[in-house]
Amino acid sequence: MPAGMEAVDRRRRFLQPKEGTQLPGYTGYCPQYRFLIGLTYGNVSAQMLKGVKHNPPTISDPGQAGGPRLVHLPKFDGTRRLTEGMVPGYTGYIPRKRYKDAGTYGRDTAVSIDEFFGDTKGAVRADRALRATVAQAPRLTPTSSPEETLEKMDCFMPRKTTLLEDKRSFLEAPMPGWTGYVPRKKITEVGLGRRYAVVAKKGFCEQQDHMDRHSSLRETPVTLERTESPDDDDKGLVDRRLYRPEGMVPKYTGYIPRWIAADIVVVSLWLYALITSYRYFRRRWMSAGAGRTGDDELPFAFISWFVYACLYVPRVAIIFKWEIAAKLTDHDWFGPNALKTTLALSAPLFLLLLYGHHDAKPHTNRKNYVDRLSLGVTFDILDSLELLDILFVEESRVILTFDLENAILSFACIVFFLPTVALFELRKSRSDGEVASVNFGVLYSLLFMLLVNIPFLVIRILLWNIYNQDVSVFLIKNVMLVIMGFKDIWENLGPHGPKKCSECDGTFHPDQIEPHREKCGPEEAMELQDGQAASEASKLPVEAHSSV
């Protein structure tokens, strides 16, 4: 027997309490003890415990193999109310019991469990029915077209939104209890001393009338008239109006034809240059027995292109920086395609100016050089226009950063000035083998590398990696021309580069330097002798006068 039980037995034998009396100092549970007053603890506990029915403790037999016989509740199968795990008087969680009031614990618990079991069975049946429906549904055939995919998906989730896309009408009846914005609801003649429905109706009606008046005024043309003062005698100043009487809007920032004068100057310059070149070459062809001799070009063709580029580039910058190109759509009469075609006309205009001012003999190095120059510059112009294509936001659907957009626009505009350098370089190269100086040739190659091909190559790589844009075929063109640019620089600076004549300080092709020196030496000597003879002839009258 444990030591604690021996102490309890000794106390019972010493006190000899009545049957059912609890030990003094017991602080456990005694039914109704707190409501009995005036008796000792032993008598009260003995009296209270006489009528309490309780089961005797189960005493297990150490020799019994099976142990005590315990009563177990049935397993949970969804059909019985009292199952294993449920204890009478249980105050824990019971599904839906918190919503049952004014009933006994047993009835509310039974009703809650019945409802829970019923809903659970219904959910299980619905899930089984859904799985059976999915298993019996026909398989969808794979589609590759986006239109077919959207059409098939519309059966499950319609593309049209269920919400109202348009604004609600102001005249719609207000919702009771709505605390949103009501026009003129506060301290005005509309909102003081009236019910909410009346205030809302009148406020929205006045707001609608106000919007209708503004829309009608927006469509009405503005007419500006200046009234003359009766005391004003100088009527000449009154007649000089800044605005016309019809159609002009104050602070109008739209298009005003201020470029017409500059366009007339450019067109006149080009017509004069082309007509002059035609007359020059025609006179040279028609000369008796002359054939194609002499200079094969007219000077200062690069000036015509430079004037054209000075007026062309600002318009391109205005079109793309003022988001005129970004707002163009295919539904417009002058849409993106019309703008691209107009910008691309600069390439054939360059060819017209180039071949209109140069008449090299066919199948010569001079002719091949002109063809190579025209092909390279034309491809650079088309390359810049292809890069500007991404700035048409309605088509590309790409929003670039301001830095990248400015870089694309800047380098594309620089390309239109570089043909001036190409025409000037062609002016320095002649049919007799004379070419531009070595420094100018290196500068020409560096300009087209650093201002066209390398920047365009970097921009296309950024568009490819960051914005996931399609790769253009001009990417390979940029790589090839960068390599060819280094090759041209090496040819100019290498041992096979242009040679400089020591007599006339001209730069010639290596194959033409020796023939030029043979011609340059005697001509220089003859010119020197002629100069000495002229100086001696000028001295003769002075000597004769002195002798007289």
360: which 2 tokens? 């090299």
Beta bridge partners of 297: 358
- In the structure, what pLDDT confidence band is assigned to residue 350 with cuts at 50, 70 and 90? confident
Beta bridge partners of 434: 508
Q: How is the chain split into domains, by residue range?
A: 3-48, 76-140, 269-509, 512-548
More confident residue, 370 or 9: 370
| 3-state SS, residue 52 | coil
The rounded distance, in Å, linking the Cα atoms of 40 and 55 is 27
DSSP character at residue 358:
B
* Average of per-residue pLDDT across 388-393: 83
Strands 507-508 and 499-500: antiparallel
Question: Worst-scoring range by mean pLDDT, 340-349, 360-369, 493-502, 527-536?
Answer: 527-536
List CB contacts of 192: < 8 A, sequence separation 6 or more.
none
Beta bridge partners of 113: none
Maximum mean pLDDT: which of 108-117, 224-233, 322-331, 480-489: 480-489
Maximum mean pLDDT: which of 39-43, 78-82, 274-278, 284-288: 274-278
**547 φ, ψ (degrees, to nearest 5):** -65, -40
pLDDT at 290: 46
- In the structure, what pLDDT confidence band is assigned to residue 237 with cuts at 50, 70 and 90? very low
CA 200 to chain centre: 42
The rounded distance, in Å, linking the Cα atoms of 266 and 469 is 38
- In the structure, what pLDDT confidence band is assigned to residue 531 with cuts at 50, 70 and 90? very low
Residue 442 has pLDDT above 90, yes or no: no
Amino acid, single-letter form, for residue 479: V
Beta bridge partners of 499: 508
The rounded distance, in Å, linking the Cα atoms of 375 and 273 is 22
pLDDT at 205: 83
* Average of per-residue pLDDT across 366-394: 83
Amino acid, single-letter form, for residue 46: A
Residue 403 has pLDDT above 80, yes or no: yes
* Positive or negative torsion for Cα 197, 200, 206, 211: negative
Q: Convert the pLDDT of each residue in 64-107 to its tens digit.
A: 444 445 455 566 665 665 666 566 666 677 887 877 877 777 77
CA distances from 516 to 120, 136, 212 (A): 107, 94, 85
| 3-state SS, residue 223 | strand
Residue 37 has pLDDT above 90, yes or no: no
234: which 2 tokens? 């100088």
Question: Worst-scoring range by mean pLDDT, 58-62, 130-134, 455-459?
Answer: 58-62
* Strand ranges (E), 286-346: none
96: which 2 tokens? 């839906």
CA distances from 443 to 37, 108, 481 (A): 119, 98, 15
Residue 493 has pLDDT above 60, yes or no: yes
% of the chain residues with pLDDT over 90: 4
More confident residue, 455 or 434: 455
The rounded distance, in Å, linking the Cα atoms of 227 and 252 is 22
CB burial readout 354-393, b (16+ within 10 A) else e:
bebbbbbeeeeebbebbeebbeebbebbbbbbbbbebbbe
| 3-state SS, residue 120 | helix
More confident residue, 432 or 459: 459
- In the structure, what pLDDT confidence band is assigned to residue 162 with cuts at 50, 70 and 90? low
* Average of per-residue pLDDT across 488-508: 69
- In the structure, what pLDDT confidence band is assigned to residue 61 with cuts at 50, 70 and 90? very low
pLDDT at 516: 59
39: alpha, beta or left, given left = phi > 0 and alpha = psi -120 to 50? beta
CA 263 to chain centre: 35
- In the structure, what pLDDT confidence band is assigned to residue 300 with cuts at 50, 70 and 90? low
350: which 2 tokens? 């360059």
The answer to whether 373 touches 433, Cβ cutoff 8 Å, is no
CA 145 to chain centre: 26
pLDDT at 293: 45
Residue 123 has pLDDT above 90, yes or no: yes
439: which 2 tokens? 């420094």
The answer to whether 235 touches 228, Cβ cutoff 8 Å, is yes
The answer to whether 375 touches 481, Cβ cutoff 8 Å, is no
pLDDT at 305: 85
The rounded distance, in Å, linking the Cα atoms of 2 and 4 is 5
Mean pLDDT, all residues of the chain: 71
**36 φ, ψ (degrees, to nearest 5):** -110, 130
More confident residue, 177 or 4: 177
Q: Convert the pLDDT of each residue in 170-187 to its tens digit.
A: 566 666 667 777 777 776
| Residue 97: other Cβ atoms inside 10 A | 18
CB burial readout 123-149, b (16+ within 10 A) else e:
eeeeeeeeeeeeeeeeeeeeeeeeeee
